[in-house]
Copies of this chain bind each other. A is one copy, B any other.
Amino acid sequence: MDTNRIVFSGSGGQGVITAAIILAEAAVLHEGLDAVQTQVYGPEARGGATRADVIISQKPIYYPKVVNPNILVCLTQEAYNRFSGIIWPGGLLLTDSHYVKKQGRIEGRHVTLDMYQAVMKRIGKPIVFNVCMLGTLIGLTDLVRADSVMKVLESKVDAEFIKMNKEALELGIEIATSGE
């Protein structure tokens, strides 16, 4: 696909903005793509909902806002209730089954996986939940390669935490490929 329009949503502290920045930098710095990463803070931000948008494209990006994402990630019930309606028909919706209860159907593919519990069981640190989610997302799509994400993590994360981030990324990929 020439252009992917991705929205990550959840609550402050789940690391969705960081995940969006890591994905954008992986695409730009290691895959030669263009990217725009945006936080549009509206009134919902004051209610605790966080939204981070990424556009990744093989072509220059002229309009940086995502209106209808073809890939949507919702990590809280509030984010799901608020944003699931904006998905592009035929798009991919990824939700975390620990936080989000599916309600109704969307016009696309809805994948719900227990990323949070997997992180807590295998790694025991909620801080890498977002990296696991990113692993799951790249396991489900062909957005960027895992080694591109890993290179960005290595440039951003303190040396002592790199191993844990790598485990979280690999765990996410494993979850994506082992079962839905």
A residues contacting B by CB (< 8 A) are 12-13, 17, 21, 24-25, 27-29, 32, 34-42, 45-46, 61, 64-65, 155
- The binding surface of chain A is classed by DSSP as mixed
The complex places the Cα of A55 from the Cα of B45 at a distance, in Å, of 15
Neighbour of A24 across the interface among B25, B39, B61, CB < 8 A? B39
26 A-B contact pairs sorted by A residue (CB < 8 Å): A12-B155, A17-B21, A21-B39, A24-B41, A25-B45, A27-B41, A28-B41, A28-B45, A28-B46, A29-B45, A29-B46, A32-B46, A34-B42, A35-B39, A35-B41, A36-B38, A36-B39, A36-B40, A36-B41, A37-B39, A37-B41, A38-B39, A38-B64, A40-B64, A64-B64, A64-B65
Copies in the complex: 2
Chain B neighbourhood of A65, CB < 8 A: 64
Closest residue of chain B to A152 (Cβ to Cβ) is: B12
Chain B neighbourhood of A38, CB < 8 A: 36-39, 64
Chain B neighbourhood of A25, CB < 8 A: 41, 45
Chain B neighbourhood of A155, CB < 8 A: 12-13
Most chain B CB within 10 A, of A17, A32, A35, A40, is at A40
The complex places the Cα of A45 from the Cα of B35 at a distance, in Å, of 10
Closest residue of chain B to A12 (Cβ to Cβ) is: B155
